[in-house]
Amino acid sequence: MIPDKYETGSGGFVWENLMPDEVFSRTQFHVYAAFDMKIGEEWTGTEFINHYNRLYYIKSGQGVLQFKDKQIRLEAGHVYLIPAYQLESHYCVGELDFIWVHFEARVDSGLDLFMLYGEAMGIKCSDSSKTVENYLKLADLTQNHHTQKSFTRTKILLSLLEPFMLAFEENDNGLHSFRHQTLLPALTMINENVVNTPDVKDMAEAANISPEHFSRKFKAAFNISPKRYILHKRIALAKQKLLLANANIDQVAEQCGFCDIYYFSRVFKQEVGKTPSAFRKEYELKNS
């Protein structure tokens, strides 16, 4: 229930409530993983996409993030935010000592906050010791799966994101001016029904543009075609069902919108690196 904008208390005192924000008050944050890691030149990836956001804190060494239209050099004493669905290649120069965090910032409909308006960016730390302390604490907390630690993980994540939120707020458009307003109806349609998603024609109609223009605009905005974005969403759902449900592979395929078990297995292996059955078995072995 949303409270009234104005309320009256005892003695006739009247006050104005601070009403929920249309986006940020509805955003749910969740930390998937965080690790303190040293890595060498094997840290190399070419044009890959992640469906989660990433934070990097560089303790020492150098690296490079290469995007379609810009390059970001990873430098010691800096933090970096890479929003979900950013097509990216990366490599490090020599050894890279860094702490990384994978997280989501999900709005009600399943959209990700940083996917909507954020761009990959880096910020120099004003207090490196405090920043390192927070990153290390978060990495430690991700090894403890107890429910009560979830609040602390979220609290630390928000503190790590605060410099980026301030940086976004300082730009000309402000935090509430999303870059891809015309695509929001289509993104909502996809995220609210991943299994039976509408076709490109329907999504284009919701965006009030032609199907061809819609596909070009979607890929230009998110570095991924609408069909591939839907595929990523279905694979992510399949991974959850393989780990958390007792359904067999055929049932998981059907529940995730794949009508052909062979197509599902082939696509899953292309995206994840192993077959659905191997993915499930590996998880069972780790948790046995």
Give domain 24-169's CATH number out of 2.60.120.280, 3.80.30.20, 3.10.129.10, 3.30.700.30: 2.60.120.280
CATH code for residues 181-286: 1.10.10.60
Please, what is the angle between helix 226-244 and helix 261-272, to 10°?
Answer: 100
Identity of the residue numbered 161: L
Alpha-carbon span 202 to 209, nearest angstrom = 10
Q: What are the residue ranges spanned by the domains of the chain?
A: 24-169, 181-286
pLDDT in tens, 165-217: 888 777 655 545 556 677 878 888 888 888 888 889 999 988 888 999 999 88
Domains 24-169 and 181-286 share a fold: no
The predicted pLDDT at position 62 comes to 94
Provide the percentage of residues in the chain whose pLDDT is more than 70: 92
CB of 200 closer than 8 Å to CB of 121: no
pLDDT in tens, 82-121: 998 777 889 998 999 999 999 999 886 667 888 776 678 9
Cβ-proximal residues to 162 (8 Å cutoff; 6+ apart), any chain: none
The pLDDT confidence band at residue 252, using thresholds 50, 70 and 90, is very high
Residue among 114, 121, 110, 143 at smallest CA distance from 53: 114
> What's the mean per-residue pLDDT of the chain?
86
